[in-house]
Chains A and B, each alone.
Chain A
Amino acid sequence: MPIVVNLDVMMARRKISATELSEQVGITMANLSILKNNKARAVRFSTLEALCRVLNCQPADILAYEPEPADAEKKK
């Protein structure tokens, strides 16, 4: 998907571990890793809100739109 989750970058900048983040956001480690590995199909506003609150950032700091080249579609 052309929407990319850049959670790693923001986590590194805030020096927060995955365990800590999942606890403070209130999601499981499994779900956090789905999110980090760009496997998620959708993000609830409530989750996004909690992420922004804990990481003290804007949605744009976590999410990015990267248009994929036309031939990348075939690989899926």
Chain B
Amino acid sequence: MKNILLVLQREYLVRVKKKSFIIMTFLTPFLFVGFYAAMIWIAIGSTESKTIEVLDESKLFINQFKDTEELKFTYINEPLDSAKSAFTTNKGSGVNALVFIPKDVLDHPKDVRIYAAKNVSLDLKSDIEKTIERQIENIKLTEAGITRKIIEDARVNVSSETISLNEEGEKSSSSGAATIIGGICAFMIYLSVFVYGTQVMRGVTEEKTSRIVEVIISSVKPYQLMMGKIVGVALVGLTQFVLWILLTVLFISAAGYAFKDKMGDNPQAKIEQVQKSMPAGGAMSTAATSAGNDNPVTEVLGAVSSLNIPYIIACFLFYYLGGYFFYSALFGAVGAAVDNDADTQQFMLPITMPIIISFFFAQFALRDPDGPLAFWASIIPFTSPIVMMVRVPFGVPGWQLALSMILLVLGLMGTVWLAARIYRVGILMYGKKVSYKELGKWIFYKI
């Protein structure tokens, strides 16, 4: 045991002291926060107001364009040609675009033109188009004898709130937040199994190719060496996670402080705007709107807090470690079986395939967390670390979780045993092209 600790300590310190570890640890949260900060910055930066001239020959749109903080509409009444030449000669007058609506717009809606010195943004274009469309629609409906009132009465706004109903009674649940949390957890496990599993493999091959392994195993048992390495790298991974979370929180508060004065009196709106413009933000606001509230951020926070966070963290740690041990042992065995990194490819496929498949299954499980595929994939140890983590935030029956955990523990004991058998033979075997058949024999060698 003392030897395992010594090995573990070395493996941990060597990796944590590496420049690449330190850079990754600081850079990742920095980039993450920086990316969001940049989006907010852009959103704030684009608030200078624009003036749009409207030349409405049809006279149908007077006062239909609503001024906003960013857009000011002015109406002009002169021939198009003179308006155009005025627009081009008075560039400095602060008019950013000229909207021309022809007389027969009702019959030829495609003849609407927007003139601008530079290309107008898609947002502006669609705003203008929508306003015109709505007005034309109104006019045509009115002509057909249908008033705005009828339409508004006919429009029903359904927004259902999902309520999880169980022994504890009704509780406002949030499938949106569960989806996000589950997805993030599964992705983190997927990534770390790959990243840290490969590190274990590299570490083993390094010891083998540098030939230090013979010296080491004259002091410690191969099993101790392997376990020390696997656990040491696991702790490196946990350290990185913890630092990422802490640093992200730190950077966010720092960024928040820096932006405080810029945000002015309506920071919420800005954040909302930013979120809408991003895919992830979109998912978040879906979560928010499903609960039918105006304030998406507090709503998401509320939704997240409706989930049992300590329970999810506990499950995450279990499946992170379980999945990692399950696969890193196999990665270690591959590292021991080959002479150098280049030869690892032939044995990698059977290990990486189930991990990649798990990730696919996880996406199905996100959509249907209680379906048969999600169920079986979250029970079988090869896929359970990733797929079960998707299901956990949605709520999983106790027996399923217990079964999945027990099977995972049994499974990882199996892979560790198998890996140890291959490892003890492999680390002393040089210059031999190893086949699967050969590996099979090693398992039953007596040493």
A binds B: no
User: Which residues of A are at the interface with B, using a C-beta cutoff of 8 A?
Assistant: none
